[in-house]
Amino acid sequence: MKTTCISIINYNGNSDTYSCISSIMGDEIFKESTIFILDNHSDFEYVCRLEDYIQDLSDVRQYIGTCEDMLRLTGDYDIVLIKSNQNLGFARGNNFILDLSVTLGYEYSVLINNDTSYEGSSIGTVIHFLDSHLEIGAATLGIEYYWNRGTIWNAGGKIFFGYKKYFSTRYIQNKRKKGFNYIDTQFMSGCFIAVRNKIIEKYGYLSERFFFGEEDYEFSYRMKKNGVKCVSVISETIYHKVNQSMKKIDNLQGRILVYDLNKLIDMKYSMGKVKFAFFRLSYKCIIYLRFLRKGKLSDGYRHIRRLRDLMRNHTCVDANLTFRLWNEGKE
């Protein structure tokens, strides 16, 4: 029985997904893993090309089917392509695979963005690290910019009062020079998370309160609250083509609105009323400063008023609301 389930979400991003699959197939962990790719209702031509790509892979045991077909999935496959008839978003799409991972008896699950690649056995090293450190529940690693290698995009960080402080490139480089292979972290980017399935079973999956974004912070925050030890294996690196998904959303104001609404709703339901009241006040100040730097304070006021109205009427940021805000104001 394979031990590791690797989850990839694809949406009209085939070339990136091919590169990610190729990296994993070159990793020593591949022989112990199943790569699950959930296609999030991409355009028809992209789905066909992805299916053809997987079918053309040599010496690979593969299974291709719909979400409904996965309910009948048995066997020990190398690659499984799941063709969704709707866009499930990041959290719900990964949760579909996580549920399969738990049901089918895998020991570990790895979430990895499709727009990442790497050389060597980065995933294998992280999984073997977890094998030998039973006190650790989940891990991330050093994620560098694909186009600026050597510069850290994300390698974890600290969580404080609803905010996160990332570890800097200098901090990670200093730790590496001192011989640290891993460091404690409170935050793990959804770009890469390796987690024991028993942790998922005990503390839950990704929050589906959000269609796109914030689910990684909520998951990390929940791990911290429950005392789950998480680390960043900084000896290992993957390369991330940052904002590939966001480039498909050309309405900057809509993207910012969704980001801020995600954060406020997350904190509203994660914090107590008094703590959230102070957080909301601090976040409002941050928004005002953001717009003030651009000389658009009146726009900041309208942005905050819009957020206030949305929070009165919504307890989650689902697909319909996300797409509506992304498209708001577009001609």
pLDDT in tens, 8-35: 999 999 999 999 999 999 999 999 999 9
Same domain, 78 and 219: yes
pLDDT value of residue 331: 41
**Contacts of 175-184 spanning 24+ positions with Cβ under 8 A:** 175/234, 176/234, 176/235, 180/234, 180/235, 181/129, 181/233, 181/234, 181/235, 182/129, 182/139, 182/231, 182/232, 182/233, 182/234, 182/235, 183/156, 183/231, 183/232, 183/234, 184/229, 184/230, 184/231, 184/232
Mean pLDDT of 33-61: 97
Q: In Å, how far from its chain's centre is CA 138?
A: 14
From 246, 271, 293, give the residue that closes a domain: 246
Instruction: List the domain range (segments joined by +) for residue 171.
Output: 4-246
Mean pLDDT of 69-87: 93
From 246, 261, 296, give the residue that closes a domain: 246
Same domain, 227 and 139: yes
From 214, 246, 278, give the residue that closes a domain: 246
Same domain, 92 and 233: yes
Query: What mean pLDDT, rounded, does the chain reach?
Result: 95
Same domain, 242 and 309: no
pLDDT, tens digit, for every residue of 246-268? 555 567 889 999 999 999 999 99
The domain tally of the chain equals: 2
pLDDT value of residue 124: 98
Same domain, 232 and 271: no
Same domain, 8 and 93: yes
Instruction: Please check the confidence at residue 107 and state whether its pLDDT lies above 80.
Output: yes
Same domain, 116 and 228: yes
pLDDT, tens digit, for every residue of 285-318? 999 999 999 999 999 999 999 999 999 999 999 9
Of all residues in the chain, what percent carry a pLDDT higher than 90?
Answer: 93
pLDDT value of residue 311: 96
Mean pLDDT of 168-196: 98
User: Considering the entire predicted model, what is its pTM?
Assistant: 0.95
